[in-house]
Amino acid sequence: MDLVLIEALGVDTVIGVYDWERTITQRLVLDLELATDIRPAAADDDIALTLDYAAISEHIADFAARHDFALVETFAERLADTLRQAFGIAWLRLTVRKPGAVSAAAAVGVRIERGTRPEAT
């Protein structure tokens, strides 16, 4: 299985369960592993035949700007769903970190995997 990677992508969004969090934007930091077969794109050297990590990163920043969830769980689940639909991603692993949410921790957050892992070939 091949993967397209996006690591430590910072996005700003309204997120949090407390009243004070509903009035500010906070930074989330995302890691993504996106399953795809990179061989067609590599064979033709053609961006149209792979997952465009720049386009996907833009999509994520726009998603973050347009939503204001309470939980990082909801952010992760809804984002995974929209990415899979918009880009036809068979399987992904998404980590959403909320740095600074717990002062004694470097970051807290969630990691999910959605979809069916393609067979290794």
Ligand X SMILES: Nc1nc2c(c(=O)[nH]1)N=C([C@H](O)[C@@H](O)CO)CN2
Strands (DSSP E) found in 37-90: none
Residue tagged 């004694």 (tokens): 104
Q: Decide if residue 105 touches ligand X (CB under 6 A).
A: no
Which of 7, 44, 58, 73 binds ligand X (CB under 6 A)? It is 73
Q: Decide if residue 17 touches ligand X (CB under 6 A).
A: yes
CB of residue 120 to ligand X, shortest distance in Å: 33
Reply yes or no on whether 7 is catalytic. no
Q: Which of 16, 56, 75, 98 is catalytic?
A: 98
Of the listed pieces 15-23, 27-35, 39-47, 56-64, which binds ligand X according to CB under 6 A? 15-23
Phi/psi for 50 (5° steps) reads -140, 180
Query: For 82-112, b where at least 16 C-beta lie within 10 A, e where not — what string?
Result: ebbeebebebbbbbbbbeebeeeeeeebbee
Active site residues: 98
